[in-house]
Structure 1
Amino acid sequence: MFTPGPRLFEISARRYLEGIHRTHGAPALAAATGQPGLSAALDQHAAAVRDILDLGIDAADRISPAVLLAGYMRGLLEDRTTPITGPADWATADWLHLRLAGACVQAGYPAR
């Protein structure tokens, strides 16, 4: 029987994070260049995600950060909301969209 190893989990997590970055991280970061309030909100969400991963998960130091972030985001997406369709929508983005974008910031993904 095939048992996935840590490297396979890492690859899968990174692919998942890249997808979320395309839908949330990059658009939010691009929109934040003209909206200081959005930039501040993203920074706050990124810091909150960092704290959750650093302080809220037992044995987090033994699990890849990408795997932790992907698992966190998958849990968030169980509660789906209305999609954001353009840069102007980020000014009124809800908590979930901002948290996903903040997690992308925490993961170190740049704006594209």
Structure 2
Amino acid sequence: MFALVPRLFEVSARRYLEGIHRTHGAPAFAAATASPGLSAELDQHAAAVRDILDLGVTTAGRVSPAVLLAGYMRGLLEDRTTPLTGPADWACAEWLHLRLAGTCLQAGLQDR
């Protein structure tokens, strides 16, 4: 039974990541195809998230990356934001939107 708990966390985290990907990741990646500057910003945010998880989470090796990333995103979203609707919005996106999209990039969701 106890082995089931980590798997449930994993499934829940993946669902959460997919939802954020629909609202932030996919639109940002689509907008980034026309904007090299936005693409570079997303890469920088993804790298920052990777460093935060690699260097700042002492138990990172014992928890799945999806669970860590979903937890990080939930923490960011405690301060709710309005979703961006189109490529023009992403050209002037705020830090939080870019960080969420960068986290999707770090989670490997850009190919969906």
Q: Give TM-score scaled by structure 2 length.
A: 0.94
Moved over 4 A (4+): none
The aligned residue for residue 82 of structure 1 is 82
Name structure 1 gaps, 5 residues minimum: none
- The separation in 2 between residues aligned to 1:96 and 1:10, in whole angstroms, is 24
Is the 8 Å Cα contact of residues 84 and 90 (structure 1) preserved in structure 2? yes
* Amino acid of the structure 2 residue aligned with 1:52: I
The aligned residue for residue 19 of structure 1 is 19
The aligned residue for residue 59 of structure 1 is 59
Q: Secondary structure at the match of 1:66?
A: helix
Is the 8 Å Cα contact of residues 31 and 90 (structure 2) preserved in structure 1? yes
* Amino acid of the structure 1 residue aligned with 2:46: A
Q: Does 1:95 align with 2:95?
A: yes
- The separation in 2 between residues aligned to 1:22 and 1:80, in whole angstroms, is 16
Is the 8 Å Cα contact of residues 20 and 104 (structure 2) preserved in structure 1? yes
Name structure 2 gaps, 5 residues minimum: none
Give the root-mean-square deviation of aligned CA atoms: 1.6
Is the 8 Å Cα contact of residues 24 and 83 (structure 2) preserved in structure 1? no
The aligned residue for residue 69 of structure 1 is 69
- The separation in 2 between residues aligned to 1:78 and 1:110, in whole angstroms, is 24
The total of aligned residue pairs comes to 111
- Measured after TM superposition, the shift of residue 83 of structure 1 is 2.0
- The separation in 1 between residues aligned to 2:106 and 2:82, in whole angstroms, is 23
- Measured after TM superposition, the shift of residue 85 of structure 1 is 1.3
- The separation in 2 between residues aligned to 1:9 and 1:106, in whole angstroms, is 19
Q: Does 1:48 align with 2:41?
A: no
- The separation in 1 between residues aligned to 2:104 and 2:110, in whole angstroms, is 8
Q: Secondary structure at the match of 2:19?
A: helix
Sequence identity, in percent?
82
